[in-house]
Amino acid sequence: MYRLVSLLVLAAMVGACSRSAPIPEPAATLAGPATDAAAAADLPPVMGPERRILAVGDSLFAGYGLASPAESYPARLETALRARGINARISNAGVSGDTSGAGAERFAFVLRNQPRKPDLVLIEFGGNDILRALPPEQTRANLDRMLAAARAEGVPVLLMGMLAPPNLGPDYKAKFEPLYPALAKQYGARLVPFFLAPVIGKPDLIQADHIHPNARGVDEIVAATADQVAAALPGQ
């Protein structure tokens, strides 16, 4: 299935690259304590223990191009989890423009500066590495660094996978795509094989930049991943 998607994958990104679409610039170098997604949304009341989730990623978490923070993936995911009866509070540490290298530089700092240790951390990087055609070995090393930091703090991880576009060639794809499942296996992390799968080939779910999901696209990604996030929470 994912090989078929890979032929379509990031067709939007490939087109954007060929038109020299701008890559969003980072909003900060390290990004301090993450923004609580709950502040951006009207949340349904839920009983039970609060489950803290930290979402660390790039513009796909930051909500680049959306009308408000309440439309970002972490905010909409928080609402979806609460609708399932999970008293979730998600801190959004997405920074537009971040490569995996930039994410690795700030990851431990953000994790350690949460008000309390998260029950789960979501890690989503790789899109900007692809857009810059950075060596897959760098992406793997950076993700490894983040997963190791999470393990050191005793926090479980749900890793959001990416696929490489065909225009980067078969060698790049052969090195890049297996790194997510390999790292998930190495660290005992849960894996979403391809985070953008629900919106690929659906232009009505993508912004005009041909890269980022629009609000409807975000909702589709949330619908496709909320159960996986819930299952990754310890004790669920």
Where is 121: in which H helix or E strand? strand 120-124
Catalytic residue among 91, 98, 212, 219: 212
Residue 87, sorted as left (phi over 0), alpha (psi -120 to 50) or beta, turns out to be: beta
Q: Is 59 a catalytic residue?
A: yes
Specify whether the CB–CB gap between 171 and 142 falls below 8 A.
no
Q: Is 209 a catalytic residue?
A: yes
Q: Integer distance in angstroms from the first to the last C-alpha of the chain?
A: 28
Q: What three-state secondary structure class fits 51?
A: strand
Catalytic residue among 58, 59, 119, 129: 59
Specify whether the CB–CB gap between 103 and 26 falls below 8 A.
no
Query: From start to end of 188-230, where are the E strands?
Result: 190-192
Q: Is 210 a catalytic residue?
A: no
Catalytic residue among 58, 98, 119, 209: 209
Q: In what order do the strands lie in the sheet with 51-57?
A: 35-36, 88-94, 51-57, 120-124, 157-160, 190-192
Specify whether the CB–CB gap between 209 and 19 falls below 8 A.
no
Q: Residue 232 burial (CB < 10 Å; 0-12/13-18/19+)?
A: buried
Cα separation, 115 vs 25, in Å, equals 27
Scanning the structure block, which residue is given the tokens 């439309």? 71
Specify whether the CB–CB gap between 37 and 68 falls below 8 A.
no
Active site residue ranges: 59, 209, 212
